[in-house]
Amino acid sequence: MTNMTNMSHASGVGRKALSWLGLSSLVLSSLAVFAAAPVAQASPAAVHVGVVAPFTGSQAFIGGFFGDACSAAAYVIDQAGGVRGHQLSCTHVDNTGDPADAGPNVARALATDSNLDLAVGLDSATAAVTVPLFENANIPLMTLNGLSEYDGNTNPYFWRVEPDDTIEGAALAAYALQRHFTKVATVFANLGSAQSEVTGAITGLKKLHIKNVISLTVPTDAVSYESEVVRVLATHPQAIIVDGDPQTETTFFTQYKQLSTGKMPPPIITSTDLLSTSFTTNMKKNVSASFVRNDIAFIGYYFSNNVTAMKQYRNALDKLLPKKQAATDLTLSGLPTEYDGVIIAALAMTMAKSTTGHVYNADILKVTEPNKKATVVHTYSEGVAALKEQKQIQYVGVDGAFDFNKSHNVSGRFQVFAQTSGSSTVTIATVEPTLVTKATK
């Protein structure tokens, strides 16, 4: 069994050792939260961005990261003079990760903040009920939701800035092939964000001729998974592809070790959704610290640490957040993409000379599509300067180029993270688009 730490890797990015259920006071001071009673809003003259994510409930840690990414973009944009002279304000819209709450909360946010100019976030669990609300309001969405139903999207205000969950599921299978596993188990929690990866993972294993020895869906946050663990143990998998929330997966693998008479579970392949302090800390305590370091691969959408946009994004997070927390936010799938999405929208507003959604929406393609005549820009300030000179531009950001197709979707490659002996992460591999495509077709 290959030890992950022996694999070649690029320079890594750190992870925080602090609790992340919430943002630093520096960030919160400029944000409004639509979860309880209304709070004071930013100036009507500001460009308002609604960050739609779970800020309460079991997935609250995800909302914290989404908020950070928007705040980093706001910092960069404001440092460059704002959007046509207006500052950018990030507003939390709490969807709680539950469709039953998401619809009313988003509707309340739209009613309260009549000046909302852009929405970002919109995770897979709640997108089906929230995306139509923003479409009806003519508000562009820079969304991270992974629902396959939007692969053929016709909503002109919908812009998906990272591959859908089916493709990410296929990337998990593709990495199993890279590790030369020939038989794996798939165990996914009954959770929207995890379930949307199942089809891609299972189909990917079949396409890549990897035997799926057992496929289970487990209830979220159950007290015991003994019966499920026994079934998986009986199949003797070389690896387990999983996804779910931290509590579910920690309980499952703690019991896996107990029921296998103390032997370590096989290597875990999962998404960066699980790259959380609560998961890695409890897994170190209940399973093994060396297992967490060497045998858990976290797969997320690719980004480069060396591009100009990343350096600016990193600097903004460092200014706004404690250093360890800022470093952590760089590793989560979707967060650099969300940052890029806000920058793209701000450049489109600048080009259109308007912050009104139905006016600047068409310019999103104009500032991103590949064009031999375009000036490639990597930061908001570069883009604004080029637009002032009446140049065509193509924004290439933290996640590279955004070549939106006719359904406003993108594709790309993935990278694989592992945790080091401390509380940081390293990039240990990449999963190329050609292999992911092989796992999907």
pLDDT digits (tens, 9 = 90+) for 277-302: 889 999 999 999 999 999 999 998 88
Q: Are 201 and 344 in a shared domain?
A: no
User: What's the predicted TM-score (pTM) here?
Assistant: 0.73
Pair type for strands 414-419 and 296-301: antiparallel
314 located within any domain: yes
* 336 and 430 assigned to the same domain: no
The answer to whether residue 362 is domain-embedded is no
Q: Does any domain span residue 404?
A: no
Does 66 share its domain with 180? no
Do 253 and 334 lie in a common domain? no
Same domain, 123 and 141: yes
Is there a single domain that holds both residue 151 and residue 175? Answer: no
Give yes or no for a contact between 258 and 228, defined as CB atoms under 8 angstroms apart. Answer: no
For residue range 321-377, list pLDDT tens digits in order.
887 777 777 766 568 899 999 999 999 999 999 999 999 999 999 999 988 899 999
Give residue 42's pLDDT band: very low, low, confident or very high (50, 70, 90): very low
Q: How many domains would you assign to the chain? A: 2
Q: Are 180 and 297 members of one domain? A: yes
Residue 378 lies in a domain: no
155 within some domain: yes
Q: Tell me if residue 171 falls in helix, strand or coil.
A: helix
Q: What is the pLDDT of residue 191?
A: 78
Whether residues 202 and 242 fall in one domain: yes
Q: Residue 392 domain-assigned?
A: no
Asked whether residue 208 falls in the same domain as residue 347, the answer is no
In a domain, 317, yes or no: yes
For residue 137, the enclosing domain spans 25-162+307-355
Closest CA to 64 of 103, 107, 28, 104: 28
CA angle 113, 118, 124 (to 5 degrees): 105
Among 315, 337, 355, the domain boundary falls at 355
* Percent of the chain surpassing pLDDT 70: 88
DSSP labels for 235-246?
Answer: T--SEEEEES-H
Considering the domain boundaries, does residue 340 fall inside one? Answer: yes
Q: Where are the beta strands (DSSP E) in 234-370?
A: 239-243, 268-271, 296-301
Task: Put the strands of the sheet holding 158-160 in their side by side order.
Answer: 32-34, 88-94, 47-53, 116-121, 141-143, 158-160
286 shares a domain with 257: yes
